[in-house]
Structure 1
């Protein structure tokens, strides 16, 4: 039975609660947020027990659900700053929902189950059938999320990521590593609706956002409480500014990032020098050497792995400290590698164990994770002393060495059955872990005065990675042309992350994962290089089996191609810097969906494989092999082909797209038109 107390026709910052027959309607700035009736309730609660198995960062997640109860009855009480709604079902205990606005005027909805055994919540937000939905972190297979559920859990991204493909089947058969369309390093409980509002959930538990019903979005949370925040805007650009004001923004990149490509090289000091000399003598603009094996090598059946003992290996890299200074004097940075785990058979792990800095197992012993033919201890970042110890290691072993940056890898592997210093369940901390890892790296730079000089880049993330992770990369794509795990997948990944508030993104040129007879071809590497020249950072990777892959120095033609495309990238430096500065100031991403600037063009809302690079460049990378023409869509504007000078006014077009001339157009009335036009002569 519905009971309504006090007058509900009250407007507060655009917030209104209106009674219905047997229910209510909550609107916020003319958007319907909640619609509840006895016949169609908006809230369910229940009890469940998570069954989560992890194997090498791949997760099998099931819920042993005891009950799921629709809460149909409500008692609504007017409060000074909003309303309290108590949901129940007959005599059953229920849930208290508080509707108010926070100090910035955002709509804030908090829920708390009365019965602590009810550790599951399903909340249905009102929707329109024509809505498009974007965000939920970094999504590789879909940009518009409408029509599908998206479980939100940080994990390996999976190999292949499409259950219909042979590669994914092979990966599943071998190690349950094939993944699915929603697997991601960087999930986030945030979405943007084309009703021009965002919804963000503060929690870090396992969640499932289901956008498949035409009339509602169902948010499922594996916790007994939840906090949701909403804001509206008159444009998507303003909406992203508000979202990033909530979550944080990345600082501007170090200036050296724009000065060429960062070469991924392994094998020691002299190998780095030799490859650097070859590339620079070939005219390639090189801004850095990224040597992930600076701490040593561990060979496994997967391929060449890094030794997880985060200090300079002087046997493999003799005289590295002196060579770093020499390279720096030539405008070349040295970048390293680190992650938040320590190899069980090395001295850093032994030291962490003696200090009590590792997470624990059920018996109070150190918890060790199997990472693929070796084990690693998990540094307990919830322990302030352990956190400071590891941050101190970053300062001493990387920053003092002279590193210009590093890959801050992993963060997804926190097992849910380990025990943490802060007493919070590892199931709740699992998603939050990557942002905590980002914060550790960020503070190391901040406290040494190196923020803005040194770059670290990450693959894993969660809420507030926007504030602490200065650059993302797309993780471990296959060295193939697959739609869900090749170069094409990087584009929706960048765009979905942009709509989640993180505007800096790049990828391994040529991909990484080399399994099941995959071999990176010359064509794939060159096409990926073309794409990367129109992203905020260019960086190569040898892959996990370098000998199976075509590399940047495999022949003279490849070196010449890198020389030309790095010249394109460095020529665009002032333009890219401006876009990066906008991201730092307002949260406007560098790689943007077209509808950010063409809201009235319905077709732009369906595009996931092309993007705006800053305001004035439109990029549609070629992501198929053996083609020399490409079809794309131009919104209504005056566009000039950056390579030919041909003008187009909009619509579907097909153009010649040979290697070295990726489909890129600039707006004819851009203030940067002269700069863009100069690229035709490179």
Structure 2
């Protein structure tokens, strides 16, 4: 190949090499192509995808995979072929720091890209990953789905969930995938595609990206430090709407007990709990199934279950407490909204042209087709706007964004397999549009578990999904930390989880210990919210045990005490896109010992939180990053950075430290119980 001068776009440089080309970003080689070591492969595959209630069985038969060894470069454009004299099959072009791709062979529907790796490199991202923060050494398919029960193929609960309903899951299953990763080499790479893709970080010499389509482009970002990378990515994907001020007054208490929910809320307050909201997802009524009590998916108030609800909401508001509900993008066939939507043509179709019906476990639903602008407008205005916001709701769980069936026919004409990943973003847009139409952005709060590239700009709060009600490594309390840290690296500033977990199956039920340890962690997150779970009658609730309730009340007071600090973090999120919960390495980029830590985190720049996440433990060991000294909140003792601290962690006193040089010392020393008081 003839040498030419390097072509530069900002920090990205496409450099000609004797036998290929390199792509450098701020001097870092992120691609290297040569005839004997090609970085690009194309081919054809025949996928098999089966969906069962949000869980997917996916496999691919690779018909062809061809190395594109021959590169022909003209200016800033490269055409690649299998060999000299053969027809080029792929064209790429550097534009504005991104590599744009164009398939020259219409038969190509698979692309593989190899990115050089270093032996000691760490990699993070991939959306919201629940099992591993550092992705190195593992393979991660990126497809929004139910995360599965247990998420560990060696555990009994996962095995039983697989047998009972193909719902066991694995370490890589997530509601919120995103084809973006950050490297400890201080660059980030994003694949702009809606298709199924895979990040494979198992090889010591390269990372391999697999896409079941020719992606639109590969985007590359670099910064001097990790905070700069996160800020850049947040600007790229969109900043989250601000966290409402009212939320910081206390916990959002989740009760689904009909009118009795108000009585129970009063008792929880009398126990000394700070409460900012009452969340009744059963505001729409219930149906009973073998899984447990399920909501009636017809999005209007059930005033039989909640008599005089509109007035009760107004009374709560006068007391300084907001009311929240629940909604998802499906309509049950036996509800009032389904015939209205079907008559207007707002529902997705099946292969025969009839309304597509989805079995959600003993009841069927229609899929509101958000690729139809009229359907999206109707749902935003008539359902969320009139039935929820105008009724008095200040927030809701916006559930089930990952459930788009892959065999439905959409108004846009786009294959549902290509709409499946971005579907949560459309769902978030509908919710955000409704909130904006009432002038309530930054006041009304909806939270989602599903996501994909771009959800950041619309969804004000993520939640970690349906963890098991236990301490398990891959589906318990500790996974909520990993989910917050991984998603936070991609511009999701606000994350929280169900206190006590959600999924209770096969005799797995909450313990007082689990509820108390989960509440301790939640006090140091952007939002404290409880959930009664899928089987409320079989599981302990926060008001079901005096000791648990007293402990919960204390943790809500700790959360509310930190509101001034949380407001500064909200301001920082708005200005820079930095998450509230942060991986340790964000502020300590030169301390390699922080790169793989995922069971402790920074709450903003000044607090380090190491929750107890294993049953039966009352002592916590936590690594404190080097370069600063740390003060143990509850005893006031000073601990040096760059070493492990071992502290007592009885109930009510999780391992929490603040930087000795913080400007927030007075606030932290005033925490209830701080300094041994």
Q: Give the structure-2-normalised TM-score.
A: 0.97
The separation in 1 between residues aligned to 2:673 and 2:139, in whole angstroms, is 48
Q: Give the structure 2 partner of residue 594 of structure 1.
A: 584
Which residue among 298, 303, 317 is the counterpart of 1:309?
A: 298
Task: From the superposition, tell whether residues 320 and 67 of structure 1 become closer, same or farther in structure 2 (CA, over 3 Å).
Answer: same
What displacement does 1:11 show?
4.1
Q: Give the structure 1 partner of residue 481 of structure 2.
A: 491
Q: How does 1:545-560 map to 2 (within 5 A)?
A: 545-560=535-550
The separation in 2 between residues aligned to 1:445 and 1:10, in whole angstroms, is 45
The separation in 2 between residues aligned to 1:356 and 1:280, in whole angstroms, is 47
Which residue among 30, 34, 58 is the counterpart of 1:33?
A: 30
The separation in 2 between residues aligned to 1:234 and 1:568, in whole angstroms, is 36
Task: Determine if the alignment matches structure 1 residue 48 to structure 2 residue 38.
Answer: no
**What SS does the corresponding residue of 1:54 show, helix, strand or coil?**
strand
Gaps of 5+ in 1: none
What displacement does 1:440 show?
0.5
The separation in 2 between residues aligned to 1:559 and 1:481, in whole angstroms, is 20
Which residue among 443, 448, 460 is the counterpart of 1:453?
A: 443
What displacement does 1:154 show?
0.1
The separation in 2 between residues aligned to 1:17 and 1:377, in whole angstroms, is 49
Q: How does 1:668-679 map to 2 (within 5 A)?
A: 668-679=660-671
**What SS does the corresponding residue of 1:679 show, helix, strand or coil?**
coil
Q: Give the structure 1 partner of residue 630 of structure 2.
A: 639
Gaps of 5+ in 2: none
Q: How does 1:576-595 map to 2 (within 5 A)?
A: 576-595=566-585
Task: Determine if the alignment matches structure 1 residue 77 to structure 2 residue 66.
Answer: no
Query: Could you give the per-residue CA deviations for residues 575-600 of structure 1, whole angstroms, max 9, x where no partner exists?
Result: 01111221121011100011111111
What displacement does 1:226 show?
3.1
Q: Give the structure-1-normalised TM-score.
A: 0.97
Task: From the superposition, tell whether residues 131 and 417 of structure 1 become closer, same or farther in structure 2 (CA, over 3 Å).
Answer: same
**What SS does the corresponding residue of 1:497 show, helix, strand or coil?**
helix
Which residue among 326, 335, 338 is the counterpart of 1:349?
A: 338
**What SS does the corresponding residue of 1:618 show, helix, strand or coil?**
strand
The separation in 1 between residues aligned to 2:357 and 2:229, in whole angstroms, is 43
Task: Determine if the alignment matches structure 1 residue 655 to structure 2 residue 647.
Answer: yes
Query: Could you give the per-residue CA deviations for residues 272-305 of structure 1, whole angstroms, max 9, x where no partner exists?
Result: 2111110111111111110001011011111111
Task: Determine if the alignment matches structure 1 residue 505 to structure 2 residue 495.
Answer: yes
**What SS does the corresponding residue of 1:606 show, helix, strand or coil?**
coil
Q: How does 1:217-616 map to 2 (within 5 A)?
A: 217-269=207-259, 271-392=260-381, 393-616=383-606
Alpha-carbon RMSD across the aligned residues, in angstroms, is 1.3
Q: Give the structure 2 partner of residue 189 of structure 1.
A: 179
Which residue among 626, 640, 664 is the counterpart of 2:656?
A: 664
The separation in 2 between residues aligned to 1:153 and 1:92, in whole angstroms, is 35
- Aligned residues, how many? 671
Contact 1:137 1:496 in 2 (8 A): yes
Contact 1:113 1:225 in 2 (8 A): no
Moved more, 9-18 or 378-387: 9-18
Query: Could you give the per-residue CA deviations for residues 83-112 of structure 1, whole angstroms, max 9, x where no partner exists?
Result: 33333435554333333232xxxx111112
**What SS does the corresponding residue of 1:109 show, helix, strand or coil?**
strand
What displacement does 1:127 show?
1.9
**What SS does the corresponding residue of 2:65 show, helix, strand or coil?**
strand
What displacement does 1:229 show?
0.6
The separation in 1 between residues aligned to 2:568 and 2:210, in whole angstroms, is 40
**What SS does the corresponding residue of 1:144 show, helix, strand or coil?**
coil
Query: Could you give the per-residue CA deviations for residues 32-84 of structure 1, whole angstroms, max 9, x where no partner exists?
Result: 12111111111111112221100000000111321111111111010xxx333
**What SS does the corresponding residue of 2:555 show, helix, strand or coil?**
helix
The separation in 2 between residues aligned to 1:95 and 1:508, in whole angstroms, is 49
Query: Could you give the per-residue CA deviations for residues 374-420 of structure 1, whole angstroms, max 9, x where no partner exists?
Result: 11110000001111111111000100011010000111111111111
